[in-house]
């Protein structure tokens, strides 16, 4: 009885100090999360560098961090700065009335075929006049939010630098001591070795597939969308490109939420050739990237159905912001894998928890 009491007391103490430690680190949640994610993503590259300089693990880890800064951090910083300037310019045009989404919506409504207008009449919508105030307020609030988020990048420079420094510092040690840390973590998990290794492997595969697939698809669709917008002379092409890249994180819908309304506007306002080109390009090029790359990079590795990827991504983003596009699918994949292992162990009469 005394031994059981001591074990329970120790477990309660261990849980309490673990929760307290997590609470202390919660302020740097994003930096820690992305440090771990990037370390997992670039671990194969670090291993190749370490194989070339086996006696210099510090140099190999430092070189890997330098390459990550060069190929990931710096390009994102440049794009973020340009985006902040462009978002501020668009917001200024909206405040001055030079850019008026309500007027553009009215032009689409006026150019709509008679059968569409008659259908809208049945629902009591004869024009956009009655909706202009609400639509205008909603668009202005949305534009203010996105513009403020872009401007906050510059206003919160100190916090950004601190979090970036913590992430890079942690990344260095995760790369250098990653194998030792992983071994300690595995030893602490009270599961049978086979089940434990399956879960850890699933966790690693899901993170690599989600980030690799999500980011590559988003970058490809954003770049292709921004390119066609720039060719067609559509203003704020970079802003639209970044928006398409973010929306591309959502399977099935993605960048079409941006280029499709723009194509409809072009058709409605007489720019038929541009509208047709944008629609054809959207379906045949932008959509094709999503249909080809995403199953190859995400679905093949995680083996999650599209609807589960979509729901977990949306739920993760809603709960955790941008971090949720990684955390959501990872939790979903671990949920599916965990219950599959549990069901398999029940059928075989195995014990999951190690003694």
CA dist 1 and 325 (Å) reads 47
CA dist 88 and 77 (Å) reads 17
Whether residue 71 is predicted with pLDDT greater than 80 in this model: the reply is yes
- Tell me, yes or no, whether 96 and 126 share the same domain: yes
- The answer to whether residues 48 and 63 touch, using CB atoms and an 8 Å cutoff, is no
Domain that holds residue 131: 35-188
- Tell me, yes or no, whether 183 and 264 share the same domain: no
Q: Which residues pair with 353 in a beta bridge?
A: 191
Q: Which residues contact residue 31 at a Cβ distance below 8 angstroms, ignoring those fewer than 6 apart? A: 163, 164, 166, 167, 170
Model pLDDT, residue 147:
52
- Tell me, yes or no, whether 245 and 312 share the same domain: yes
Model pLDDT, residue 66:
92
CA dist 216 and 218 (Å) reads 5
Structural domain contains residue 29: no
Whether residue 216 is predicted with pLDDT greater than 50 in this model: the reply is yes
Whether residue 122 is predicted with pLDDT greater than 70 in this model: the reply is no
- The answer to whether residues 191 and 354 touch, using CB atoms and an 8 Å cutoff, is yes
What average pLDDT score do residues 269-278 get? 83
Cα 224-226-229 angle, rounded to 5 deg: 110
Phi/psi of residue 352, nearest 5 degrees = -80, -50
Q: Which of 260, 233, 257, 232 is nearest to 243 (CA)?
A: 257
- Tell me, yes or no, whether 168 and 231 share the same domain: no
CA dist 325 and 311 (Å) reads 10
Structural domain contains residue 18: no
Per residue in 78-92, pLDDT tens? 777 776 676 666 666
Whether residue 355 is predicted with pLDDT greater than 50 in this model: the reply is no
Structural domain contains residue 148: yes
- Tell me, yes or no, whether 241 and 174 share the same domain: no
Q: Given the structure tokens 């890249």, which residue do they identify?
A: 245
Whether residue 127 is predicted with pLDDT greater than 80 in this model: the reply is no
Whether residue 295 is predicted with pLDDT greater than 50 in this model: the reply is yes
- Tell me, yes or no, whether 202 and 114 share the same domain: no
Token digits for 167?
A: 């992430």
Model pLDDT, residue 300:
54
DSSP-assigned states of every residue in 304-328: --HHHHHHHHHHHHHHHGGGHHHHH
SS3 content of the chain, % helix, strand, coil (to 5): 85, 0, 15
Number of structural domains the chain divides into: 2
- Tell me, yes or no, whether 90 and 235 share the same domain: no
- Tell me, yes or no, whether 210 and 328 share the same domain: yes
- Tell me, yes or no, whether 174 and 215 share the same domain: no
CA dist 279 and 225 (Å) reads 11
- Tell me, yes or no, whether 287 and 327 share the same domain: yes
Lowest-pLDDT range of 142-151, 174-183, 248-257: 142-151
- Tell me, yes or no, whether 222 and 309 share the same domain: yes
- The answer to whether residues 294 and 310 touch, using CB atoms and an 8 Å cutoff, is no
CA dist 154 and 85 (Å) reads 10
Model pLDDT, residue 351:
47
- Would you say the pTM of this structure is higher than 0.85? no
- Tell me, yes or no, whether 118 and 240 share the same domain: no
CA dist 211 and 94 (Å) reads 35
Average of per-residue pLDDT values in the chain: 74
């Amino acid at each position: 009885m005394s031994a059981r009491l001591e074990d329970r007391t120790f477990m309660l103490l261990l849980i309490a100090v673990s929760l307290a430690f997590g609470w202390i680190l919660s302020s740097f949640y994003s930096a820690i999360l992305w440090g771990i994610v990037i370390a997992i993503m670039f671990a194969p590259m670090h291993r190749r560098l370490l194989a070339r300089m086996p006696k210099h693990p510090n140099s190999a880890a430092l070189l890997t961090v330098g390459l990550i800064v060069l190929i990931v951090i710096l390009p994102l910083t440049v794009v973020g700065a340009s985006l902040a300037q462009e978002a501020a310019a668009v917001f200024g045009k909206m405040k001055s009335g030079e850019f008026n989404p309500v007027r553009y919506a009215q032009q689409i409504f006026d150019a709509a075929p008679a059968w569409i207008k008659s259908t809208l009449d049945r629902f009591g919508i004869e024009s956009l006049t009655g909706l202009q105030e609400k639509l205008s307020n909603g668009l202005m609030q949305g534009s203010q939010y996105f513009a403020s988020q872009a401007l906050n990048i510059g206003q919160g420079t100190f916090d950004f630098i601190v979090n970036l420094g913590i992430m890079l510092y942690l990344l260095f040690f995760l790369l250098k001591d990653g194998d030792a840390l992983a071994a300690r973590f595995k030893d602490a998990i009270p599961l049978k070795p086979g089940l434990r290794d399956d879960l850890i492997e699933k966790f690693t595969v899901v993170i690599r597939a989600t980030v690799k697939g999500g980011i590559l698809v988003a970058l490809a669709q954003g770049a292709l969308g921004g390119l066609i917008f720039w060719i067609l002379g559509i203003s704020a092409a970079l802003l639209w490109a970044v928006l398409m890249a973010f929306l591309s994180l959502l399977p099935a819908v993605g960048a079409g939420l941006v280029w499709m309304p723009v194509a409809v506007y072009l058709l409605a306002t007489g720019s038929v050739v541009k509208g047709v080109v944008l629609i054809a390009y959207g379906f045949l090029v932008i959509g094709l990237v999503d249909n080809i790359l995403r199953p190859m990079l995400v679905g093949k590795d995680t083996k999650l159905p599209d609807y589960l990827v979509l729901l977990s991504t949306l739920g993760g983003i809603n709960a955790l912001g941008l971090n949720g596009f990684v955390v959501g699918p990872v939790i979903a994949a671990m949920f599916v894998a965990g219950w599959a292992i549990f069901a398999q162990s029940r059928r075989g009469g195995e014990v999951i928890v190690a003694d």
